[in-house]
C-alpha cells in the first residue's frame, strides 16, 4: 500500500538511525507537531521561533532517517510524520513516550492552532469569493446529501485500506468517506482548492486523510496500490475523460472498486460558457466503454434525478488476473 507502514518491527539499524535523528529537543518538537498534520518550513519556523536554515537542517536529517515525509507543492514544501515504512513506525513509538504535560509542547500546540486559524481564514476568503460559482451549479442538481449517500453505498460493506480521490477540490469526498477508510489521499492541481481541503480535514480531525498537488492524468502513485478510487464531478472538465478512467484503473489493485460521479447528458450550455465544462454530461454506454477499455468490469449504476441536471454514479471493479469479475468484498 502506498501509505501503509510496514507491519514487521523495525530492524536494529533502522531503530538506531531513527533514535539518532530524533535525539534532540527541537526534533522531538518537530515529531510532535508533524504528527498533528502537515506544515511548511515557514509555518514551522513561526511555531518554533527558529531560523529557516536551522529548521531545514533538522527536517533534512529526519527525512533521511525515514521519520518524516516531504511533499513539494509548487514553490512550497510540506512535511508530515512518515505515513509508511519502518522510520514511521519508530516515529510513532517515540511519540508515545513524549510527556503529555510538557510546557514547550503545549506552547507549540497553541502556536499551531494559530497557524491553522490563519489557514482557515484564507480558505474561507477563497471559498467566499468563489461561492456563487458552486451555489449556481448546486441549484441545478439533486441535493448533495443524496449524492453522498449513494457514494457511501458504493463502498458499504467493504474494508477500504487506501482510497484515492482524483480531483479532490475542497476535499468533500474525503470528508464523507474518510471516517470509513483506513487512509485516504486527494489529488488536485489547484493549490487554492487544496488549502480549502486541508482546512476542512483539520476541522474534522481527519488525520488519516491527506491531500497532494498533482496531475490526476499522471498521479504520483504506484500502480495497484489503492483498493478504492473516486472521480467526483471531474470528468466533465477533462479534455480526455477516458485517460482519467485509465489512470484510476492503473492505481487500483485487483478487487478494488471505482466510483465515477458526474452528470447525465443535459442541455445547460451556461455550464460550458460560464463554468468551463467541456462536456455536457455522459451517456451510460460511453462511460462503460471507458471502463471496459481500462480493464475494469462495470457495476451497478445509480441515477439521481435533479432539475434540470441528473447526477449519475457509475461503478466498476478491477478483476483479479485469473477472473473477469470476482464480486469479492473486503
DSSP of 167-210: T-TTTHHHHHHGGGEEEEEEEES-HHHHHHHHHHHHHTT-TTEE
Mean pLDDT, residues 306-324 taken together: 87
Share of the chain above pLDDT 90, in %: 59
Mean pLDDT, residues 162-186 taken together: 95
- For residue 168, what pLDDT is reported? 93
Specify the range with the lowest mean pLDDT, choosing from 92-101, 272-281, 284-293: 272-281
Mean pLDDT, residues 106-134 taken together: 75
Supply the DSSP symbol for 237: G
**Residue carrying the nine cell digits 530492524:** 11
C-alpha to C-alpha distance for 301 and 288, rounded to whole angstroms = 10
The β-bridge partners of 261 are 232, 313
Write out the three cell numbers for 330.
473486503
Name the more confident of 38 and 26.
26
Supply the DSSP symbol for 236: G
- Structural domains in the chain, CATH included, are 11-113 (1.10.10.10), 140-318 (3.40.50.150)
Write out the three cell numbers for 185.
489521499
C-alpha to C-alpha distance for 217 and 226, rounded to whole angstroms = 16
Coil vs helix vs strand at 150: helix
- For residue 208, what pLDDT is reported? 93
| pLDDT higher than threshold 80 for residue 275 | no
- For residue 86, what pLDDT is reported? 86
| pLDDT higher than threshold 50 for residue 329 | no
Pairing of strands 252-263, 226-232: parallel
| pTM for the model | 0.71
| pLDDT higher than threshold 70 for residue 23 | yes
| pLDDT higher than threshold 60 for residue 326 | no
Supply the DSSP symbol for 110: H
- For residue 129, what pLDDT is reported? 67
Of the pLDDT bands very low, low, confident and very high (cuts 50, 70, 90), residue 153 is very high
Of the pLDDT bands very low, low, confident and very high (cuts 50, 70, 90), residue 330 is very low
Residue partners of 293: CB distance under 8 A and separation at least 6: 242, 245, 246
Name the more confident of 141 and 199.
199
Angle (nearest 5°) at CA 302 between 166 and 320: 60
| pLDDT higher than threshold 70 for residue 247 | yes
Residue partners of 192: CB distance under 8 A and separation at least 6: 126
User: What mean pLDDT, rounded, does the chain reach?
Assistant: 86
Task: Name the nearest CA neighbour of 80 among 33, 115, 126, 43.
Answer: 33
Coil vs helix vs strand at 245: helix
- For residue 37, what pLDDT is reported? 82
Mean pLDDT, residues 156-181 taken together: 95
| pLDDT higher than threshold 80 for residue 4 | no
- For residue 17, what pLDDT is reported? 87
- For residue 88, what pLDDT is reported? 87
Specify the range with the lowest mean pLDDT, choosing from 78-87, 210-219, 243-252, 280-289: 78-87
Distances in whole angstroms, Cα of residue 264 to Cα of each of 76, 259, 277, 328: 38, 15, 13, 29
Mean pLDDT, residues 232-256 taken together: 93
C-alpha to C-alpha distance for 171 and 318, rounded to whole angstroms = 25
Mean pLDDT, residues 125-150 taken together: 71
- For residue 139, what pLDDT is reported? 59
| Strands across the sheet containing 297-304 | 209-213, 181-188, 160-166, 226-232, 252-263, 311-317, 297-304
- Tens of pLDDT, residues 57-67: 999 999 999 99
Amino acid at each position: 500500500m502506498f501509505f501503509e507502514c510496514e507491519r514487521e518491527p523495525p530492524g536494529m539499524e533502522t531503530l538506531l538511525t531513527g533514535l539518532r535523528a530524533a535525539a534532540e529537543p527541537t526534533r522531538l518538537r518537530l515529531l510532535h507537531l508533524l504528527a498533528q498534520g502537515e506544515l511548511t518550513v515557514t509555518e514551522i519556523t513561526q511555531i518554533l521561533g527558529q531560523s529557516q536554515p536551522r529548521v531545514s537542517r533538522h527536517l533534512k536529517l529526519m527525512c533521511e532517517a525515514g521519520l518524516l515525509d516531504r511533499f513539494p507543492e509548487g514553490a512550497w514544501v510540506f512535511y508530515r510524520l512518515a505515513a509508511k515504512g519502518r522510520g514511521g513506525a519508530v516515529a510513532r513509538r517515540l511519540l508515545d513516550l513524549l510527556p503529555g504535560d510538557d510546557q514547550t509542547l503545549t506552547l507549540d500546540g497553541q502556536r499551531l492552532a494559530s497557524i491553522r486559524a490563519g489557514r482557515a481564514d484564507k480558505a474561507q476568503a477563497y471559498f467566499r469569493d468563489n461561492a456563487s460559482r458552486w451555489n449556481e451549479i448546486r441549484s441545478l442538481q439533486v441535493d448533495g446529501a443524496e449524492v453522498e449517500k449513494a457514494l457511501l453505498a458504493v463502498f458499504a460493506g467493504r474494508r477500504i485500506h487506501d482510497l484515492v480521490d482524483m480531483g479532490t477540490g475542497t476535499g468533500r469526498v474525503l470528508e464523507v468517506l474518510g471516517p470509513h477508510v483506513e487512509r485516504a489521499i486527494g489529488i488536485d492541481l489547484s493549490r487554492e482548492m487544496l488549502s480549502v481541503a486541508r482546512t476542512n480535514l483539520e476541522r474534522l480531525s481527519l488525520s488519516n486523510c491527506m491531500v497532494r498537488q498533482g496531475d490526476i492524468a499522471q498521479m504520483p502513485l504506484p500502480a495497484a496500490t489503492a483498493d478504492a478510487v473516486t472521480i467526483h464531478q471531474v470528468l466533465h472538465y477533462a479534455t480526455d475523460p477516458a485517460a482519467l478512467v485509465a489512470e484510476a484503473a492503473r492505481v487500483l489493485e485487483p478487487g478494488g472498486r471505482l466510483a465515477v460521479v458526474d452528470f447525465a447528458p443535459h442541455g445547460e450550455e451556461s455550464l460550458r460558457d460560464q463554468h468551463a465544462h467541456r462536456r455536457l454530461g455522459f451517456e451510460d454506454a460511453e462511460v462503460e466503454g471507458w471502463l471496459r477499455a481500462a480493464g475494469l468490469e462495470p457495476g451497478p449504476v445509480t441515477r439521481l434525478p435533479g432539475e434540470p441536471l441528473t447526477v449519475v454514479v457509475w461503478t466498476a471493479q478491477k478483476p483479479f488476473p485469473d477472473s473477469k469479475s470476482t464480486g469479492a468484498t473486503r
